[in-house]
Amino acid sequence: MIDKTLAITCDHLRKYYGRGETRVAALRDITLDVYAGELLMLVGPSGCGKTTLISILAGILDRDEGVCSVLGQDFKAMSNAQKTVFRGKNIGFVFQSFNLLPALSAAENVAVPLLLQGTSTKIAIDRARAVLEKVELGHRWQSLPSQLSGGQQQRVAIARALVHNPKIIVCDEPTSALDNVTGQKVMQLLKDTAMAEGRTLIIVTHDSRIFRYADRIAQLDDGQVIKVTNDYHDISH
């Protein structure tokens, strides 16, 4: 449920790549608010700036112009070490390619964010197993990624994004490699599990089959937000 508490606010955000005559504007003038407890989708053609935008929101890329506040903080005012700590505490990622470590079990992969924060191995694995239960993979906690299907690997990736109880979860094309049935299950899982306790979920997607799960959809084109709507039928695709 959206409570209209701002989680993220962007005002006239701009990002450029290259210099001089080769400079390209990846983000031209992004003004966008994201609320606590909201599932916001970012849609639009390839190259329109979606991945650049979520990278700035997550503190991975620096903006060049404009204002961006994430949970009341400004990444530009932080050192690299402070950014790492802030992300580790507040932001979870679900990558398009899963980014699971092949030599680690499902539980060990899920535990990585906790281990990076200094949590003891036993406590981290126990928490990881508990989150794997939530995504219906408790029985596969010892399996390597190579022993899991694509859909199961995606659920491990979701569990890893949830294990440290972040306030914001960012997903890059979470259903692109999945069939329709599995994709719908993943979205329902994200909607039910990731958004508990007022968490904010931002999803970059080309998959119109999952638009209906969004509270709002921001349509980007050529580095700009051209439309924000709460009616997924209102999005051209």
In-domain check, residue 105: yes
Q: Cβ atoms within 10 A of the Cβ of 59, count?
A: 22
Q: Which domain holds residue 89?
A: 6-234
Report the number of distinct structural domains present in the chain: 1
* Mean residue pLDDT across the chain: 90
Instruction: Supply the pTM of this predicted model.
Output: 0.89
Residue 166 lies in a domain: yes
Which CATH number do you get for residue 120?
A: 3.40.50.300
In a domain, 1, yes or no: no
Give tens-digit pLDDT for 132-188: 998 889 999 999 999 998 888 988 998 999 899 899 999 998 887 778 887 888 888
